[in-house]
Each structure stands twice: as structure tokens, then as C-alpha cells.
Structure 1
């Protein structure tokens, strides 16, 4: 039997729960009872993973205009219930990892925010699945409605505009811009009201965490890159992009690496830049 004094260090050293699964890790879940969600939305096309149901993050927002803010809980839960999502079954999400925008991360984050306990992302997306010779379908499966579960919101996974504004005065919080270098310097390719970035924000483009084939870089390289960007585990990390999609993917990566307090600013730059009272750099 382990001495009590050894138990705590061992627990503290335990590996973080995985967020991203390899194809070999995901395959038994696909073949089992997992709900499989294709996060490519309106851009989804064959091939599809077995039993995949298409979900579009843009239909989970609080409006049709330029916004990344989430719809209310009732609307979110109803949408996921229509897809057959229940908190009693694991959920596997995948996207077009080599040419998407991290939509799979946005769906993962939304479900985790609602308190779903077992949500995973297939590392490398549909391309990795096909390259591994796994079975596919020519059409997605229609949703099979279930009763909506009772949400247990994980409030720490979401950051508000006011919290982002307060971050500059706090040493225990860092704001992370996950957009491209050009956007960080002021380009507005996605119709933001103003160019620039949140004052004092760190910068790490989300694609810098991916290999050319869309898979995550090896863990050691991920650790090196997030450290080089100035991210620390003893701080709360608030990530943003344009509409909270790329940043949600980065939050998923940070959770995979064991960062204990990473949040997504869902409104992101669309929300921040639209308020002329807020400063930009």
C-alpha cells in the first residue's frame, strides 16, 4: 500500500485528461456508442465518419449578424438534443483539420461549457481518418432526437468583455490573441469594426500549434511554443480571435496540455472592436 505522503504527489503528477484522440484511440468510440459530430457545418462534404451528424457552430450563436456569442442554454441544449447528444454518451467531434478554422474546437468548447463530461476531438480530423484507411460514409446520418440533459455550466470556460478589459490590471490573467499576424497588426479581413488587438494581449496564431497535415504538433513542441508565447499555468488564460472559433480550438489545446484555467472570449474581436469606448493597440 502506498504511504499517504506519496499519494498527493502522485495525484498532482497525473497526466491531464486527453482532449485530442488519435485515430486508434477514437476508432473504438466510433464503433461503440459515441455520438459522432461533423463540425464542418455548411461546408461538410463526403466522406463522413460512420454515424456522423453535421453540426454548424454558426447555428449555435445568439444572432445572425457578426457575432460569436453563444445562444442561450435552452437553444443550445435543444440543438444538441436534436443531434442525439446526451451527457450519458461520449461525444467525438471532428473537422477539416488541414483547411478548417478550428470549428471542432468550438463545438468541443460549447459542450464542455454546458457541462458535458466526455467530449473529445479527433486529432487530424476527417483527413487523418481517411488516411488511416478507416471506414467512411457518403452521407451524414440524420439526427435522432433525445431529451435534453440538464446543463451544469462550467462558467470558468467562458470570459466576458468586462473580464477581458480588467485583465490588463491583473497579474494572474493573460489575454491571448489567436488570430494571424496580419490581423494582430491591424488587418480586418473578416469585417471587424476596427483593426488592432486588445491592449497587452499575447499572440500565438492557432495554426502554429498544428503540423502541415492538420494534426497537433508533438506535445514537447506544443509546450515549447505556448511557453515562448508567454503562457503560464499559474495564470488564467483568456483566448480570443474574430468570432470565438479559432480561440476555442486553442482553449482545447491548452486543456489537452493540462492548463487548469483557460477560457474562450466567445464574442472575441467582433464584440470588442464594435464598442468604440474600448481601447485597441
Structure 2
């Protein structure tokens, strides 16, 4: 597949920055990569022969039409209870093997396509998962905004990558209500900021369990974290700054099942908010 855009891609930014800095933690690396990543997201998406396109739409949608050369992937294979959301598996070695068979290594540029703002954030959930596993060049886009050849037949296999071990980042996920309570209670002088990314209707229903916690609760719908093309929105930084939130602040994002909140967490991570965390069980777990 030939490049369809002439602009410098995300991978080049990562390479240039990495060459100029000494090694540091993954969390801090995202903080100083923020400006370069912002520039990449402000330019048209670049797809090259090295790019692997993953499609997280339903298997039925994929069978009807998909980008030539793309692969369908089921979010459930990454999750503990084989559901679309919820906590990730503690051992992600088998999903990593699957990715390697699809031609994906830790340095492979990946584009995740889905239904964009008309969906439920699946592509963002997968992008967050891939970042969590150690991949760094991961972008999202609405499939309707990716003007590449569409087909209905299966894609040809790519060159298999050597097996690799996931480099999990547990600091980016809160897996239980207990861990949520511990995180909220760990702040003395400043309250933990929790961002509810559900719809306004869902938000105003509220959750009794959250009302009594020492947290700062905000509502920003998950769609505000993305552009109409399904790419990370740079405007979200201005929105957060207007309510006193900065790149280094600890943030917890929450939705019903940890899918939309994972999508929003992905955006914050790649824009330099290295202390963003997804409450992966979601509100649904609080009803039990």
C-alpha cells in the first residue's frame, strides 16, 4: 500500500524525539512527546506500506466492506471476562502473539478504524489497550474518513513479526472499586479529578457511590476528545485547561463499561497527560 499523504507521520516524530533524549519512564516520555504528537495529529493521517490497519467494527460490518489489507480484531480477546469492556487480562501474552501473526511488533505503526463518533469508542479502547501493551505508534480514525480502497474479501497475510512480550503499564488502569477508593483517598490537599465521559443523560443519573468520595467530578462527553474524523482532538487541551487541569495532573476517566473512558484515556495519554487512568470496570460494576 503506497502512502496516500505527503506529511510526516507519527513514527518520525517518535524517532526524532527519542534521538534527542535520554531514556526515561514511559509515563514521563509521553509528557515531553506531547508537543510532537500534537503536531502529528494536526496533519493528515499518513498510511504507508509498514502501517497495519486494524478494524474493530462488528464482524458483520467487516465482512460487508473493509479497507483493503486490514484485519478484523475482536476487543474481547484482550479483556478478562471476554466482554467488550471491563478490566484487561493480566496476562496479555496470547493477544500479543496474535498481533505478531498479523505483522504487528512494538514499533509497528498501527491505525485502528471503527465507526468514529457514531460508534461507542471501540477504536479508542483498542488504541488504549495497545499503548498499555507497549506499542507507541497507534492512531485512530473513522473508517469513513479513511479514503482507501474498500473490499469484501479477506486480506492477504503480512510478514509475521517475532514474538514479543507485552510491556504492560498498570498505572494506566484502575481495575476495581477498591483501587478506585485507594486512589481517591491518597490525595490529601488536592482532590483527585474524575471525568465522566458518558452522555449528559447518563451523567445526570449519577452514581450514589461516587457522591461521597473526596473527588472533583467533571462531565466531558467522550466524543469531545475526538474530531469528526475520529482522530484525537487538540481542542480538548483547551477545554481541560479552562477547568484547571494540566498535563501532569492525575486523572481518572469513567464510563459504563470502560470502553468510552478508555478511548478518552488514549487521547489524553498521546497528548501528554501521562497520569491519565481508565477505570476499566465502569459504572456497571458499581451496580452489583
TM over 0.5, shorter chain = yes
TM, length-normalised to structure 2: 0.73
Aligned residue pairs, count: 249
Is 1:113 the counterpart of 2:129 in the alignment?
no
Is 1:55 the counterpart of 2:67 in the alignment?
no
Going from structure 1 to structure 2, the CA distance change for 1:241 and 1:148 (only over 3 Å counts) comes to farther
**Aligned mates of 1:40, 1:176 — CA distance in 2:** 26
Question: Match for 1:152 among 152, 163, 167?
Answer: 167
Secondary structure (helix, strand or coil) at the match of 1:40 reads coil
Partner of 1:70: 88
Deviation at 1:97, TM superposition (A): 0.8
Is 1:168 the counterpart of 2:184 in the alignment?
yes
Residues 180-224 of structure 1: per-residue CA shift (max 9 Å, x gap): 11212227xxxxxxx55633432211113345555555x2x3223
Counting only pairs closer than 5 Å after superposition, residues 3-82 of structure 1 correspond to structure 2 as 15-17=35-37, 21=41, 24-27=44-47, 29=48, 32-42=49-59, 44-45=61-62, 46-64=64-82, 68-71=86-89, 72-82=91-101
Deviation at 1:136, TM superposition (A): 2.9
**Aligned mates of 2:197, 2:126 — CA distance in 1:** 17
Tell me if the contact between 2:253 and 2:278 (Cα under 8 Å) persists in the aligned partners. Answer: yes
Going from structure 1 to structure 2, the CA distance change for 1:74 and 1:206 (only over 3 Å counts) comes to same
Unmatched 5+ stretches in structure 2: 1-20, 22-30
Tell me if the contact between 1:47 and 1:136 (Cα under 8 Å) persists in the aligned partners. Answer: yes
Question: Match for 2:255 among 222, 237, 241?
Answer: 241
Tell me if the contact between 1:38 and 1:53 (Cα under 8 Å) persists in the aligned partners. Answer: yes
Going from structure 1 to structure 2, the CA distance change for 1:214 and 1:25 (only over 3 Å counts) comes to closer
Tell me if the contact between 1:68 and 1:266 (Cα under 8 Å) persists in the aligned partners. Answer: yes
Partner of 2:106: 87
Partner of 2:13: none
Deviation at 1:147, TM superposition (A): 4.5
Secondary structure (helix, strand or coil) at the match of 2:95 reads helix
Partner of 2:239: 225
Tell me if the contact between 1:186 and 1:197 (Cα under 8 Å) persists in the aligned partners. Answer: no
Question: Match for 1:128 among 137, 145, 148?
Answer: 145
What RMSD in Å do the two structures reach over aligned CA positions?
3.2
Partner of 1:202: 218
**Aligned mates of 1:238, 1:79 — CA distance in 2:** 30
Deviation at 1:256, TM superposition (A): 3.3
Going from structure 1 to structure 2, the CA distance change for 1:142 and 1:272 (only over 3 Å counts) comes to farther
**Aligned mates of 1:99, 1:164 — CA distance in 2:** 30
Deviation at 1:228, TM superposition (A): 4.1
Unmatched 5+ stretches in structure 1: 1-6, 188-194, 275-281
**Aligned mates of 2:50, 2:33 — CA distance in 1:** 31
Is 1:182 the counterpart of 2:201 in the alignment?
yes
Deviation at 1:153, TM superposition (A): 1.4
Partner of 2:278: 264
Deviation at 1:155, TM superposition (A): 2.2
Going from structure 1 to structure 2, the CA distance change for 1:82 and 1:157 (only over 3 Å counts) comes to same
Partner of 1:279: none
